[in-house]
Amino acid sequence: MAHTTTVHTADTLVIGSGIAGLWATLKAADRGTVLALTKKEKSESNTNYAQGGIAGVVDPDDDFESHVRDTLEAGAGLCHEDAVRVLVTEGPDRIRDLIDFGARFTMIRDEHGERLALGREGGHSRRRIVHAKDLTGREIERALLNAVRLHDRVTIRENHIALDLIVRDNICLGAVALDRESREVEVCLASATILCTGGVGQVYPHTTNPEIATGDGVAMAWRAGATMANLEFIQFHPTAMYHPEAKSFLISEAVRGEGGILRLKDGSTFMEKYHPLACLAPRDIVARAIDAEVKQRGEECAYLDVTHIPEETLVERFPHIVSRCREYGIDPARQWIPVTPAAHYSCGGVVTDLYGRTSIERLYASGEVTCTGVHGANRLASNSLLEAVVFSERAVQSAASLARIDTSGIDVPIPGGDKETDDVSPLLNRLREVMWQHVAIVRTDAGLASATREVAAIRSEIENVYQRSKPGGTLTEARNIAAVAALICRCATTRLESRGLHYNTDHPERDNTNWLRDTVVANGEGATV
């Protein structure tokens, strides 16, 4: 093994520790040894920031067809119905599994006994959102982490960032990783690798995602030659708090579901001009409406008004949101909450089949890093946590059928050079501003062309620094952000229509004749769309 100091082996390598990664880790550990890599502390992930809940047909008055129909409608024609049906029909069992793992969801008691309290969010025709107050993701993370800690076949390596996948003859053998504390490069070999690295929000300057959401899995899989799809469809959450100290704090869609009203600075409402459901319209429509109104008036943000909702109701339903707002000097019971759209969720990513298999053998993926076909051109609220558990379960089932692979004698060169790392933060800031200006909520042909050129130039500079520098976590993340930005530009430039989360003013109409299909990018760096 050339140039390596530490080699780890396991039956399964899981990269990422959000709900998809923790579920995969738990279920794979029932079948063999698991090595799990996580960039920061175990609890830091997009899952931990998921406030609203997890959608599922658990009410006797609800039905699978209704959930399928709502998902397909939100996806603007691009959902893969077979994947949606897997999600919806297997979802309730996975929710029951979460309860068995110890997730404490909010309950209500009535004349029929105790049952799950179900919320409703934009795009859903029924109340089907299982939640734990407004901290659902954190509660799920807590329950799964506790279960992981009790498993003796799991090794978790914290503060480790995967640098690249190890692929030979289109077979994934594991990954090269960096211990961010010691700066030692380690080799992690496994019979199956499951990517659960989450989203790409840090491509943009305004995002609800934590700092670790740098698109690592998408970038690594792309460099390894995996097939990608639909990365033009970036969901912008319409209501992130507009405050300099609350850069990644979102105001859950459930707040509008409970009666929150969007207003402009003068108090006027505007959503009724954009959709019959007004403030309960799908996220893409709400985000574009806020963007248009704020830009037209030259204002910095819009406002979410919940002052008409009784204070005790707000505190009972949204304790975390109320508490955080008050920390920032805003009392939601008496003041409007300043909000702005922010990058929130990627509906595209590494293409997988119904069992999490990618185009690279022995490489699986689950969660936001993927394009399963479930979300189409726009994710339905609270389907993301459900997708993570349903498809992680299936990925582990598939990987369990694989024979163990001999990974001895594999030569793995260490990436990078031997110089101290240059500061690439100015390059990264420039790239993010380019993406926000030209490849965010509203796009144009000219803007996309300009962004494509600028991103390519910035990416080249970052890659040059990477190749000559000692491996570093921040530099690796910058490299990955630049790669993902290039992919987003590429997919967005290709789609000559407006659909779901992709809105191009030069092609404002939906074109089902030519574009009722995924934007697929295959065969690695030299590919065409």
217 secondary structure, DSSP code: H
- List 283, 357, 379, 394, catalytic entry: 283
Average pLDDT value for the chain: 92
Contacts with 212 (C-beta within 8 Å, 6 or more apart), sequence order: 39, 40, 44, 45, 198
H or E stretch covering 23: helix 19-29
- pLDDT value at residue 46: 46
Tens-digit pLDDT profile for residues 182-238: 989 999 999 999 999 999 999 998 898 989 999 999 999 999 999 999 999 999 989
Per-residue pLDDT band at 133 (split at 50, 70, 90): confident
**Which backbone phi and psi does 191 adopt, to 5 degrees?**
-75, -25
CA distance 411 to 409: 6
* Domain range summary for the chain, segments of one domain joined by +: 6-230+347-399, 245-341, 425-517
| Residue-wise pLDDT tens digits, 444-479 | 999 999 999 999 999 999 999 999 998 899 999 999
- Which one has a higher pLDDT value, 306 or 112? 306
Rounded CA separation 47/196 (Å): 11
**pLDDT for 136 beyond 90:** no
User: What DSSP assignment string belongs to 270-322?
Assistant: -GGGT-TTGGGS-HHHHHHHHHHHHHHHT-S-EEEE-TTS-HHHHHHH-HHHH
DSSP class of residue 443 equals B
Give, in order, the Cα–Cα distances in Å from 266 to each of 71, 271, 279, 294, 343. Answer: 35, 15, 17, 12, 26
Tell which CATH architecture fits domain 245-341: Alpha-Beta Complex (3.90)
Cβ atoms of residues 259 and 308 within 8 Å: yes
Say how far apart CA 67 and CA 47 lie, in whole Å: 22
Q: Do domains 245-341 and 425-517 have the same CATH topology?
A: no
- Per residue, the 3-state secondary structure of 484-501, as one string, reads HHHHHHHHHHHCCCCECC
Q: Which helix (H) or strand (E) holds 234?
A: strand 234-241
CATH of the domain spanning 425-517, picked from 3.30.720.200, 1.20.58.100, 2.60.120.10, 3.40.50.150: 1.20.58.100
Beta-carbon-side half-sphere exposure of residue 324 (alpha carbons within 13 Å): 21
Closest by CA position to 194, among listed 38, 13, 371: 13
At residue 4, the pLDDT reads: 45
Structure tokens at 89: 């029909």
Give CA 78 to chain center in angstroms. 18
* Least confident among 121-125, 129-133, 143-147, 290-294: 121-125
- Of the candidates 350, 347, 354, 324, the one whose C-alpha atom is nearest the C-alpha of residue 337 is 324
Bridge partner list, 529? none
How large a percentage of the chain has pLDDT more than 90? 76
Between 3.50.50.60, 3.40.50.720, 3.30.499.10, 3.40.50.11540, what CATH number should domain 6-230+347-399 receive? 3.50.50.60
The b-or-e profile of 170-182 (16+ CB within 10 A means b, else e) is eebbbbbbbbbee
Higher confidence at residue 253 or residue 290? Answer: 290
The distance between the two most distant Cα atoms of the chain, rounded to a whole number of Å, is 70
Residue 96 appears among annotated catalytic residues:
no
Angle between helices 384-399 and 136-149 (to 10 degrees): 30
Band (412; pLDDT cuts 50, 70, 90): confident
